[in-house]
A and B are shown apart, each in its own frame.
Chain A
Amino acid sequence: MTHASRRSFLRHSALVGAAAAAQMTTMGQVAHAMAPGDYKALVCILLAGGADSFNMLVPMDASRYADYAEFRADLALPHNTLLPLSYTAPGGLTYGVHPGLGGTRTLFDAGRLAFLANVGTLAEPTDKTGFETGTARLPLGLFSHADQISQWQTSVPDRRIATGVGGRMADVILTNGVPASPISMNVSLAGSNIFQTGQLVTDYSIDANDGVRLVAGYDEPNAVLFTDALDAMLAAGYTDPFRRTYAQKLRKAIDSGIAVKSALDNATPLTTAFGAGQLSAALAQIARVISVRDQLGNDRQTFFVTVGGWDHHDDVLPRQAQMLPGIGAGLMEFSQALDELGVSDRVTTFTISDFGRTLTSNGKGSDHGWGGHQMVMGGAVNGGSVYGSFPNLTPGNALDVGRGRYIPTTSVDAFYAELALWFGIAPSELDLVLPNVRRFYVPESLTAPVGFMR
C-alpha cells in the first residue's frame, strides 16, 4: 500500500473524527519531527487472568489499612509484611506493596516507577447511580475475562473490535510516512494479540525462549530446489483466500525471521543478568531486540508480553506470594538492562490486566472485579508517586457496585492517551488511536491526561 493510499484508508476509516481528518494535511510535519535516532518503545506486560492488584498496592496509614483489613477479611495481607513506599500523599496517606514486589519498591523509591490507582475500562465517565439505574453506558461483558482482557487492549469497551491501541499507533506512525521497515514495529513475545493488531500492522512474534525461528532448510545453499519450490508456492495466486492468507503469513514469517535472526546473531551480549522466570526471559529477549533497533530500522517499537495465571478464585495469597517476585525481579532486571543500553528514557514499560478483583473473599480467593492498579516504569516516568484516585475501602462506598467491585476512576483511554502522547502520537492524532478518548480527555487541552509521564 502506498503512503497515499494508506492515508486515504485512514481518512475514510470509521475511527477518524472530523477534526482529526482536518489535521491530516499537517502529518508531513509530524513525520519530520521523528528524526532518525529518535527512538522510543512501549512495553506492555499483560497479567492475564485479572490480577488481584488491591493486594499489590495497599494503603498503610492506620485508618485506611483498617478499612482494607476488614473489607478483605481472610485475604488481607498483614500490615507488618507490606513493603512501605517512600511516598506520602496529602493528608498523610501512605502505601506499601506486596512483600513479593521488592523490585517494584526499589524502582518506585528511585523515581523509576509509578502506580496508577483504580484504572479500568469505561465506556463513559460512570457513577454508581448510573450503574445501578442502567442509565450509564457500560463496557460490554463487564466482569468477564474474554471481553475485559480484550477491552484493555482495544480501549474500545463499548464495541468488539479487532484492532488494539498498539496496532492503531503503528498504523498512524506508518501513515505519517516514517520509512517502513520490513519488520513490524510491533514485536510480540506472546504470539498474536489484539493490542498490537492494526489495520496495516500486525505483530511480529518472537518466542521468549527460542528467539527467532527459521524454516528448516530454507535458503540453505544445498537446498536450492526446496527453497525455489517454497518460494513458488508462497507466490502462487490461490483462488481460496484462506490459502492466500496462509501463504502471506508464512512468507512474512520467513522474511522477517531471516532479518531479525541476522541482527540478533550479531548483537553485542548484554552484561545485565536476567533470572529464569517467565517475565525475566521475555524481557531479556526484548532487551536484545532493543539492542539491535538500528538494524531493524524502526524508530518506534511496541513489545507485548503475557504472564498468565492471575485468575485467583482460589488460593490468591499463596499464589501471589509465589508469582509476584517474578514480576518485581523482571522489572528490576529490565530497568538495569535499559540503563546498560542507554535507553532508559526511551522505553516505557507498563502493566495491564483483565480487571481488578472483588475486595471481598469467596472463602478461597477473589472473583472478577473492575478497576485495579497498574504500574508504569521508565526513565521518562514521573515515578515515586501514586497517580489517579485511590478509592475509599469501606464496603458500599460510592464506587463499590457490589462485593468491592470498583467503578474505575481513571479510564483505560486516559491511561493510553498519556502513553501515546509520550510515544509521539500528536494530540490531533489521538482520535485515531483512541476513538473514545474525547469522553474522558480533550486532546487540544495541552494538559496531561493523567500526569505520570514527564
Chain B
Amino acid sequence: MHAFKAVARVAAATGIALWLTACGGGGSGGGAAAVPPPVAGPPPPPTTAQLNSAAALLATTTYGADFDLIDAVAREGESAWLNRQFAMSPSYHTPVVVRYLTQYGFDINATPPPGTFRRFAWWEQTLTAPDQLRQRVAYALTQLFVVSDNVDQIFINPLGLSHYYDTLLGYAFGNYRDLLRAVTLHPVMGIYLSHVNNAKTDPVTNTFPDENYAREVMQLFSIGLFELNTDGSRKLDANGNPIPTYDNDDIQEFAKIFTGLSYAARPSGGPSFFGNPDPVLHVPMVMFEAYHEPGEKRLLNGVVVPAGQTGMQDIDAAVDNLFNHPNVGPFVGKLLIQRLVTSNPSPQYVARVTAAFNGNAANPRGDLTRVLRAVLADPEAPNGIHLREPFLRYVALNRILHAGSTDGTFPGLAYVAQFLAQQHVLSAPSVFNFYSPGYSPSGELGNAGLAAPEFQITTDSSIVGVSNLMAYAVYGDQPIETPAGFTPIHLDLSEYEALAANSDALLDRLNLVFMHGAMDAATRAAIRNAIEPVVNDPAARTKLALYLTLISPAAAVAS
C-alpha cells in the first residue's frame, strides 16, 4: 500500500534489508536443545531467581547490565555489590572534556564545536565508568535540579555543564544540604534561573531582585507547593484544602537573598566583577556585597535573617531554612523513588524514605546515602513499575550490547537519541524537566489515578522514534555518521548470536538481560513465532529477536 514506499526507504537507508532471508514454513525448529553438561566444581551457578533479582536491581542502579555483570552480582550478592558501589570514588566528566579541549582547542566555529565535548564526555563515562550507581543517581538528580543546554550561553561552554554534572556526582552520596548549596552557587544554575548578576532593589531605576531562582528552588528543588505529611500526602486545612508552603511575599523575600552573586573569574584573566559578561562556568559563583540586598529577610516558618549579615551568610541561612523544612524528606524522597524505582510508591514507602532523610540521634538529617539505600532496598522496590525513559532505553542498549570504538570515544552518540526520541541528559525543555512527576495519561492509568510521568513524552512521534532508534542500532549498526577524526561505533551481538540457534536459549537470555525475567507469555510467543522460521542464519535471528525485544511493551516498562 501507500506506506510501503516510505518504509522501504527508511529501511534501505539503514540497511534493514535482512529481515527475512528465511522462507517461512520450515520444520519446527532448529533441532532439540541440547542440555549442557553440569558445570563441574564449586561454587554452584546462581539460580534463575537470583539472576532475575540481580538483573532487576541492576536495571535501576546502572545504565544497563550485560549478562556477565548480572551473573557476577548474583554470585557476589546484591548488598555486597551495592556496598562496593557506594564506596567507589566518582568518575568525573570534566577531565574528559579537558582531554578533548587539549586535543582540539577551543574554537567555537570548529568541527566538532567545543560545546559538544560535554556530551562526548557524558557518553564515554556513562558507558565505561565503574561507579555506575553514582553515575545513575547523578542522572536522576539532573531531573530534580534541572538545567539545560537549550540555553545558548550554557551550550557553547564545554566545561559548565560537565562541571555541574560533576557537582551532582560529587554530592550524590553526600548530604542534601551541601548539594542544594552547591547547586545554588553553580554558575550554570545562575544562568539558567537568572540569579547570576542579580542586583539588589534600586529605587532610582525602579528595579527589583529577580524572583526566578527564589521561586523554583522552593517549588522544584526542595519543598514543593504544598505542605506534606511524612508519607508524601498533602496536609489539609480545616476546610479540607491543601496548605501552600509559600506565597508571593515569601518569594520576594528569598529573591533578596539571592542577590549579589556573580562569576568568580574571567577566562580572559583579570579580576571578576559584578555584571561580568565573560564568565567562567566551572567555578562556583561568588558574592559581591555591594549588590546584595541589605536589611532583614523573612524566610519560611517564622525564621528572620537579621540585617547586617554578609551575602553568603544570608544564602546559608536560606539554604538551612529550606533544608530544615519538614517537606524536604517526602518531597525529594518521593521524586527519587519515582526516578529510580516506581511511579506510584505507597505512602508507607515514602514515609520510610522520609525517615531515612530526617535522620535520628545517630544519623544526620539529609544523608543521601541513607536515603538512597532506603529507596533501593525498600521491600516495595522489587515490585516497582515505571515506564522507562526513551533516552535510558537507548543508553542501556549501548551498554548491554557493548557499544565500542577503536579509539574508545563515542561522539556519534551525542545527538541521535535527542533527534529521534526527543530526550537527552541535561537538555530538558524547561526547569520543569521532561515531564511532571504527577503526570497521568488519560485513559486507564488516569482513571485509576496512577502517576506515569514518562508517558508525558510518549507521543506518537517519540514512541515511533524510540522504536526506530532500536532498529537503527540493531540493523544499521548505529544510525550515525562518525565525525571526522573519530572511529566508528559498533555493537557486539556475538554473545546473542552464539545462542541464536536455540530459540529458547536466546529468549531466556533476552528475558533476563532486558526484562529481568518479566517477559510475559504473549511477548515470548510473538518473538518465538517470528524467529522460528528463520533458519541457518544466527545473525538474522539475533537481530530480529533483539529488535522485537527492544521495542516490546514488556521492555518499555520496568516492572
By a beta-carbon cutoff of 8 Å, the part of chain A in contact with chain B is 48-49, 73-74, 141-146, 162-163, 188, 191-192, 197-199, 202-207, 210, 212-226, 228-230, 232-234, 236-250, 252-254, 256-258, 261-262, 265-266, 308-309, 311, 313-314, 358, 360-365, 367-368, 395, 402-403
Among B206, B211, B462, chain A packs the most CB atoms within 10 A around the CB of B206
B461 x A228 contact (CB < 8 A): no
Q: CA separation between A221 and B12, bound complex, in Å?
A: 13
Interface string of B448-488 (1 = CB under 8 A from A): 10101001111111111101100110010000000000000
Q: Which residues of B contact A240 (CB under 8 A)?
A: 385, 557, 559
B460 x A257 contact (CB < 8 A): yes
**Contact check: which of B468, B534, B553, B554 meets A225 at CB < 8 Å?**
B534
A146 x B436 contact (CB < 8 A): yes
Q: Which residues of B contact A234 (CB under 8 A)?
A: 553
**A218-B7, A226-B19 known; A245-B207 Cβ under 8 A:** no
- 18 further interface pairs, Cβ-Cβ under 8 Å (given A146-B219, A191-B459): A203-B459, A205-B459, A207-B461, A216-B16, A220-B7, A220-B19, A225-B20, A225-B24, A225-B529, A228-B529, A241-B444, A241-B448, A249-B455, A253-B461, A258-B2, A261-B3, A266-B2, A308-B150
A360 x B194 contact (CB < 8 A): no
The residue in chain A whose Cβ has the minimal distance to the Cβ of B476 is: A216
**A241-B448, A258-B3 known; A226-B8 Cβ under 8 A:** no
**Contact check: which of A246, A313, A363 meets B212 at CB < 8 Å?**
A313
By a beta-carbon cutoff of 8 Å, the part of chain B in contact with chain A is 1-8, 10-11, 14, 16-17, 19-20, 22, 24, 150, 194, 197-199, 202, 205-212, 215, 219, 225, 248, 251, 385-387, 422, 429-432, 436, 440-446, 448, 450, 452, 455-465, 467-468, 471-472, 475, 520, 522-523, 525-527, 529-531, 533-534, 544, 547-548, 551-554, 556-557, 559
What is the minimal beta-carbon distance from B288 to any residue of chain A, in angstroms?
14
The residue in chain A whose Cβ has the minimal distance to the Cβ of B464 is: A213
Q: CA separation between A245 and B440, bound complex, in Å?
A: 11
Q: Which residues of A contact B467 (CB under 8 A)?
A: 215-216, 250
What is the minimal beta-carbon distance from A76 to any residue of chain B, in angstroms?
11
The residue in chain A whose Cβ has the minimal distance to the Cβ of B151 is: A309
The residue in chain B whose Cβ has the minimal distance to the Cβ of A199 is: B442
What is the minimal beta-carbon distance from A239 to any residue of chain B, in angstroms?
7
The residue in chain B whose Cβ has the minimal distance to the Cβ of A236 is: B522
Q: Which residues of A contact B225 (CB under 8 A)?
A: 141
What is the minimal beta-carbon distance from A97 to any residue of chain B, in angstroms?
25
A226 x B544 contact (CB < 8 A): yes
**Contact check: which of B1, B5, B215 meets A144 at CB < 8 Å?**
B215
Q: CA separation between A238 and B206, bound complex, in Å?
A: 61
B4 x A221 contact (CB < 8 A): yes
The residue in chain A whose Cβ has the minimal distance to the Cβ of B196 is: A314
A249 x B456 contact (CB < 8 A): no
- Which 7 pairs show the lowest CB-CB distances between chains A and B? A236-B522, A229-B530, A262-B2, A216-B471, A313-B194, A205-B459, A232-B526
Q: Which residues of B contact A265 (CB under 8 A)?
A: 2, 5-6
**A246-B557, A313-B194, A362-B198 known; A216-B472 Cβ under 8 A:** yes
A364 x B445 contact (CB < 8 A): no
**Contact check: which of B207, B429, B460, B461 meets A363 at CB < 8 Å?**
B207
B526 x A249 contact (CB < 8 A): no
**A143-B248, A162-B446, A217-B7 known; A236-B386 Cβ under 8 A:** no
**Contact check: which of A246, A252, A262, A360 meets B206 at CB < 8 Å?**
A360
Among B212, B386, B436, chain A packs the most CB atoms within 10 A around the CB of B212
B468 x A192 contact (CB < 8 A): no
Q: Which residues of A contact B452 (CB under 8 A)?
A: 242, 245
**A49-B430, A203-B459 known; A242-B387 Cβ under 8 A:** yes
Query: What are 6 A-B contacts with C-beta separation under 8 Å?
Result: A73-B207, A145-B430, A222-B19, A242-B559, A247-B553, A253-B464
Q: Which residues of A contact B431 (CB under 8 A)?
A: 145
The residue in chain B whose Cβ has the minimal distance to the Cβ of A202 is: B442
Q: Which residues of A contact B531 (CB under 8 A)?
A: 225
